[in-house]
Amino acid sequence: MEWNLRRMESELRQINPDLLQPSKSFKKPSSGTITINVGGYLYAAQRQTLAKHPGSLLEEMVTGKKPVLHVDSMGNTFIDRDGPIFRHVLNFLRMGELVLPEDFKEAELLRREADFYRLSELAQALQDWEQQQAGQREPAFLEVTDSHERSQGLKVYCSDSSFIEKVKNRLVQISKSRLDGFPEEFEVSSNIIQFRHFIKSEQGSRLVLKQDSTFLCTLECLKLETVMLALKGGFRLLTSLDSSRGSVVQCEALHFVK
């Protein structure tokens, strides 16, 4: 067995001598290409790319200012951070600008990685990207109307269907001590829900808050819950009709925008 291992090691050295040298690319200044393991993902880059920003963690690692503390089984320097997100860090170092997919949803994670690697330029580029995205995003419109009649009830319209989902996820119907989920009869479309009544044909059916099944929902409760979700979600109140009733909950119509 020992002879076989020595023979294998000899053959590997003939194929690529660097394979059996722990962190050789970091220790050898003349090595132009460096392979690092970030959270289980291998990345290869030129030394000058990783050292582009003086004072950053990567620059200190490749120049030897900061000792390598961990290596993987192949001798590559190991960094215990998010592997997939590091590609955006490396692309920023390569191109000198931040280029992200249109559907990128991990800005907060990338910001934390920029802080960890001490790349203030990346953090600033990310902030600029977020401001640009906010300027391009179409505003979301929310309308809450209440006819104060049981036959019509409360109508909630939002151009952003994800807000409608948030409202639905707050409510559940209970029938004979079982949870039935959100009543389909209240769903007009993906952008509209309308609460015309609360008691279905089945006796004992009631609509409650999911977090408190003992709290029976009324029109006023549903309206207040919708308004609170809107404000927490970044919506701001534009107009309210018939506010003379003395309460936002009593208004016939509320209009929000985000």
Contact 157, 142 (CB under 8 A): yes
> pTM of whole model > 0.95?
no
The pLDDT, as a whole number, for residue 17 is 42
Q: Residue 136 CB: number of other CB atoms within 10 A?
A: 8
Tell which residue, 89, 79, 131, 78, has the closest CA to residue 112.
Answer: 89
CA distances from 59 to 48, 92, 210 (A): 9, 14, 51
The pLDDT, as a whole number, for residue 173 is 77
What's the distance, Cα to Cα, between the start and end of the chain in Å? 69
DSSP E strand boundaries for 13-163: 33-38, 41-46, 77-79, 141-146, 154-158
The pLDDT, as a whole number, for residue 239 is 81
The pLDDT, as a whole number, for residue 9 is 55
Distance CA 159, CA 116 (A): 38
Cross-strand pairs, 254:
144, 240
The pLDDT, as a whole number, for residue 82 is 96
The pLDDT, as a whole number, for residue 16 is 43
3-class DSSP state of 131: helix
Q: Consecutive 10-residue runs of the chain (258 residues): their mean pLDDT?
A: 52 45 47 89 94 95 90 93 96 95 90 97 94 80 79 84 89 70 83 72 64 70 88 87 62 88
Tell which residue, 208, 229, 241, 231, has the closest CA to residue 250.
Answer: 241
The pLDDT, as a whole number, for residue 81 is 96
Which residues contact residue 4 at a Cβ distance below 8 angstroms, ignoring those fewer than 6 apart? none
